[in-house]
Amino acid sequence: MSRSSATGVLRLAPHLDTPFDSIESVGGWWDRRGDMNTTFVGSARGSTPVAIGSIKWRERATFGANDLAKLAEGRAVIPKAGAAGLVAVAPAGAPQVSRADLVLDAAELLSAWQL
């Protein structure tokens, strides 16, 4: 994940609904084998993950069901992340049926620098 994307999520956190407003740090995550990675993990005080997210910079395609399934797989293996919300970020957003807990489009992520 680019540093500016991580910073954007972190800057937006206080303006998001609960539990995402408790995010105090954001960073990437990957397993030791390199088989699985997650664009970002947003953690609250005490390093408890409250958000597991993925950013897909596609011009026209939305954050799809396959993207969400991979994100859910990541949540299942990240330590202490079982209750973390799933966050989908894509310029075109995500369909209503995506079942992501939070959807951000590119404009919302970029608005972090206007706050």
For 71-90, what is each residue's pLDDT tens digit?
999 999 999 999 999 998 88
The reported pLDDT for the residue numbered 1 is: 47
Average pLDDT over residues 39-54: 91
Query: Model-level pTM?
Result: 0.87
| Domain range list for the chain | 3-114
| Structure tokens belonging to residue 80 | 């202490």
Give the 3-state DSSP-derived string for the chain, with helices as H, strands as E and coil as C: CCHHHHHHHHHHHHHCCCCHHHCCEEEEEECCCCCCEEEEEEECHHHCEEEEEEECCCCCCCCCHHHHHHHHHHHHHCCCCCCCEEEEECCCCCCHHHCCCEEECHHHHHHHHHC
